[in-house]
């Protein structure tokens, strides 16, 4: 087995960017979750070369959900996941929307929607649905909007 060359800089992680999309309903926050196969997540996608991560996050939300009215009430603060899958890192921002209904448009690359389902859920339900790698992101969001 070959050993890595200690003089070679490590490969930077693959970065995706997304948004924890929130809306107020009856005095409580609801979060938008998207399901692809059996996995629930927030809207996100890869940052393209030369693209700013926040711009990528806004673009991905629009492409995946048709939501265009994101208000970054909490500024441009973000949190990142620990590396997962082949070293990928996901960066999430917080934004509010007034949208209630969304659509899952067909992806030109896939010839079908990227996601199978969407739901607006409270923090408790989100904690039960999201995988462990997203629990710190959820906790940060909850603390930030409280």
- The domain ranges of the chain are 15-145
145: Cα within 13 Å, side-chain hemisphere: 23
Q: What separation in angstroms does the CA of 2 have from each of 5, 6, 8, 142?
A: 9, 12, 14, 45
pLDDT digit string (tens) for 59-86?
Answer: 999 999 999 999 999 999 999 999 998 8
pLDDT digit string (tens) for 6-59?
Answer: 665 555 679 999 999 999 999 999 999 999 999 999 999 999 999 999 999 999
Range 15-145: architecture per CATH = Alpha-Beta Complex (3.90)
Tell me the residue ranges of DSSP E strands in 84-123: 89-96, 106-107, 112-113, 117-121
Average pLDDT of the residues of the chain? 91
pLDDT confidence band for 110 (50 / 70 / 90): confident
Measured between alpha carbons, how far is 66 from 102 in angstroms, rounded to an integer?
A: 6
């Amino acid at each position: 087995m070959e050993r890595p060359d200690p003089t070679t800089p490590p490969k930077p992680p693959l970065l995706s960017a997304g948004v924890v999309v929130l809306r107020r309903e009856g005095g409580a926050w609801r979060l938008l979750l998207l399901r692809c196969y059996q996995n629930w997540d927030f809207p996100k996608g890869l940052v393209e070369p030369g693209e700013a991560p926040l711009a990528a996050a806004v673009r991905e939300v629009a492409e995946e959900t048709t939501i265009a009215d994101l208000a970054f009430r909490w500024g441009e603060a973000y949190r990142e996941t620990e590396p997962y899958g082949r070293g990928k890192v996901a960066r999430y921002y917080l934004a509010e929307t007034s949208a209630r209904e969304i659509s899952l448009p067909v992806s030109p690359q896939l010839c079908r929607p990227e996601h199978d389902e969407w739901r607006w859920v409270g923090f408790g339900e989100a904690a039960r649905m999201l995988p462990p790698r997203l629990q710190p992101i959820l906790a940060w969001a909850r603390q930030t909007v409280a």
